[in-house]
Amino acid sequence: METARWLMLAGPLLYALAAGLALGYLLARRAPSQGVLFGIVSCGFVLHSAGLQMRGMAVGGCPIGNPYEVFQFISWSITLVYVFTGPVFRMTILGTFSAALAAILGLLPAAVPAWDETRRSGFIGGNPWIETHAALALLSYGVFGLLATTAVMYLFQQRGLRRKQWGDILRFLPSIVQLETMNMRLLAVACGIFTTSQAIGMVYWFSDPGSISFGKLGITLGVWLAYLLIFLLRLSQRLHGTRFAWSCVVLFLFALLALWAVEMDRTAAPPPVDAVHAPFFGIPHGS
Amino acid sequence: MVPDRPAYDIIGCSHATAPLEVREALALTPAQRERLQLALECDPRVAGAVVIQTCNRVEVHASLDGQASVVLEHLAEASEFPVGTLRQLHYHYSGERAVEHLFALGAGLESEMIGETEILGQLKLAYRQAHERKSLPPLLHRVFQKAFQAAKWARTHTAIGEGQVSMGSVAVELAQRIFGRLESSRCLVVGTGEVGRETAKALASRGVKQISLTGRTLGNVRALADDVKGRIVPFDDWVGHLQEVDILICATAAPSLLLHAHTVRAAMKHRPARPLFIMDLAVPRDVESRTADLDNVFLYLFTDLAAIANEHLKHRHSAVDACRNGLAARARDTWTRLAGGPLP
């Protein structure tokens, strides 16, 4: 367990190193080295994956049983998406932003030992569908996180162009058309993953409606519907540009708060005996 | 009264002293410029006159007895601009300081986009026109010849021309910050002035999908269309093409606005998610300034592009200073010889 924790610390530390190094390059008015940054982030990703794998093996399921593991999983998901999609774009800056976000989400819970003190063992209940539901939901959070990152990059670039700024960082950012395309694709992918996760969760909710609270269900569906709404609005071109980017950022912050609320609800409520439980998104909780 | 001693005066307004709105009002039409030239030639208090007009300055070079007001009155009358405001915003250089200014002007050091070379061509044109009118006294003739030599010296003996960022390259870089690769972008160039031509060629060299051109002078439009392999759009109809365009370059000599915000707003309704990059390089402006407030529209003026180009010069202060000092020494030497000895 200790080795796993160290590995889960080493991954985000390497993400932070990559983000700091890139920032140093930019302050020195130099383009960050793509190979070096990608190498550091990839090493971090391997260590992070190994840590989560060890933790998963130890607990006998997907390691998302407490706030520490949840944040680690989201941090890992952001890096996973970046590692596989980043090279398509001008990834140095995307890497910088996403590495910074992954580092924050990975290191923040490490600073709060209480988040990892208790853990519901066997919460998956041996059901691979529930595990898939929870893992997909958190993976979609990773993509939403990356979407919020690219949305912030869009807002930086857009603001710079509006204010006629010619900073070095702005020159290294992708164009606003590329960022808008990237945002739409990430939103489509995240909505797809999240919807699949919700569909699986719904099957279990229909079979046992009393197993989760309405508050939890309402928050989860609210996040899902909100993302679906901005996806449809963007698809119909009623929402675009700055408003679309702001929607992505604000909705991710709301989704993180919702995650927190759901987690609080889960830890506060006494688990029903023999119920299959998972921490998020309408999955029934139990012992 | 014409001075009996060597005198050289420059009276004018530029981006350094007057805001864009004033420069727009002072921009002379060909008829106004002719009227000013005639008025100066007929005034016995003025000996010879060279009128220099660029998009960012209007200057009169003449031999006076030290009174700038006579030139200001003629300039105000020709441009129909209040003389009181002109008095507040003008500059007046005499003698050695005037020569120094002319030398720096020819080398591009006084331009809004420092180091640009177009100004030298504009100086030569103004000088030739004055020379052809036989209104140029020997002193002005000599000082202009010396200015051309000084500009050549600055180009070849100082680093002012090295790493010069052109208007075209700034435009391309801005377009790339908006659209990324330009292969799918469509461009419309309105007007075929020097700045518009340079920008259109820079965009064409980066492989924009299509360049459309329009202007009042069909011959000039055809020539540029041949250069950039563009298609010609009738001048009466170009606004109708706005919704198909990603990059719009306006660089006409029109005295009033050609494109209003409500027209752009209407065009954007057909393409709300696709940005529109407008470069208004004309003085007076062709595009209404409120257009910049529209969602997904990026409006850049000549001033903005020049400021970006000058950003690149920040790291070359020493080159600019060395050039300015060298030109000042040559100006001092020139004026000492002109003022001290008999004119050739």
A3 and A145 share one domain: no
Question: In what side-by-side order are the strands of the sheet with B210-214?
Answer: B231-232, B210-214, B186-190, B247-250, B276-280, B297-301
Best residue of A30, A154, A166 to probe chain B, by most B CBs closer than 10 Å: A166
Domain-ending residue, one of A43, A78, A113: A113
Amino acid occupying residue B45: R
Judging contacts by C-beta atoms under 8 Å, the chain B residues touching residue A233 are none
What DSSP character marks residue B287? B
User: Of B83, B85, B80, nearest to B71 (Cα)?
Assistant: B83
Domains in chain B: ranges and CATH = 9-157+318-340 (3.30.460.30), 167-295 (3.40.50.720)
A135 and A266 share one domain: yes
Q: Mean pLDDT for each 10-residue chunk of chain B (344 residues)? A: 73 91 87 89 87 89 83 91 91 92 92 83 90 85 93 85 73 90 92 84 88 90 90 92 94 90 94 93 92 94 86 71 89 86 50
β-bridge mates for residue B210, sequence order: B186
Q: Label residue A170 by pLDDT band (50, 70, 90).
A: confident
Amino acid occupying residue B51: V
**Contact status of A164 with chain B (Cβ, < 8 Å):** yes
For residues B229 and B212, what is the distance between their CA atoms, to the nearest angstrom?
9
Question: What pLDDT shows up at residue A69?
Answer: 87
Q: What are phi and psi of A62, to 5 degrees?
A: -65, 130
Confirm whether A250 is domain-assigned.
yes
Confirm whether A69 is domain-assigned.
yes
What DSSP character marks residue B29? P
A217 and A142 share one domain: yes
Which of helix, strand or coil describes residue A1?
Answer: coil
**Domains in chain A: how many in total?**
2
Residues B205, B210, B216, B218: what is their CA dihedral angle, to the nearest 10 degrees? Answer: 80
A96 and A153 share one domain: no
A16 and A108 share one domain: yes
The alpha carbon of residue A166 is apart from the nearest alpha carbon of chain B, in Å, by 7
A17 and A147 share one domain: no
Question: What pLDDT shows up at residue B230?
Answer: 92
A240 and A212 share one domain: yes
A49 and A135 share one domain: no
Is 90 exceeded by the pLDDT of residue A45? yes
A101 and A134 share one domain: no
Tell me the catalytic residues of B: 55
Question: What pLDDT shows up at residue B4?
Answer: 59
Domain-ending residue, one of A59, A78, A113: A113
Q: Which residue in B has a C-alpha nearest to residue A90's C-alpha? A: B180
| Residue A154, domain extent | 127-287
Confirm whether A142 is domain-assigned.
yes
For residues A268 and A194, what is the distance between their CA atoms, to the nearest angstrom?
25
Question: What pLDDT shows up at residue B114?
Answer: 82
For residues A111 and A119, what is the distance between their CA atoms, to the nearest angstrom?
17
The alpha carbon of residue A155 is apart from the nearest alpha carbon of chain B, in Å, by 12
Question: What pLDDT shows up at residue B149?
Answer: 93
The model's pTM is 0.74
Token output for B8 = 């050289």
Question: What pLDDT shows up at residue A275?
Answer: 37
Q: Which residue in A has a C-alpha nearest to residue B246's C-alpha? A: A177
- Read off the pLDDT of residues A8-33 as tens digits, 9 standing for 90 and up: 999 999 999 999 988 888 777 676 77
Token output for A86 = 């980043």
A26 and A155 share one domain: no
A162 and A71 share one domain: no
Question: Which conformational region is residue A66 in: left (phi greater than 0), alpha (psi within -120 to 50 degrees), or beta?
Answer: beta
Q: What are phi and psi of B186, to 5 degrees?
A: -110, 140
Q: What residues of chain A, 225 to 244, have a C-beta less than 8 Å from chain B?
A: 237, 240-242
Best residue of B174, B176, B177, B183 to probe chain A, by most A CBs closer than 10 Å: B177
A–B: how many Cβ contacts below 8 A?
Answer: 43
A240 to B179: CB separation less than 8 angstroms, yes or no = no
Is 60 exceeded by the pLDDT of residue A40? yes
Confirm whether A284 is domain-assigned.
yes
The alpha carbon of residue B298 is apart from the nearest alpha carbon of chain A, in Å, by 7
A58 and A186 share one domain: no
Is 80 exceeded by the pLDDT of residue A131? no
Confirm whether A121 is domain-assigned.
no
β-bridge mates for residue B298, sequence order: B277
- Read off the pLDDT of residues A219-250 as tens digits, 9 standing for 90 and up: 888 999 999 999 999 999 899 999 999 999 99
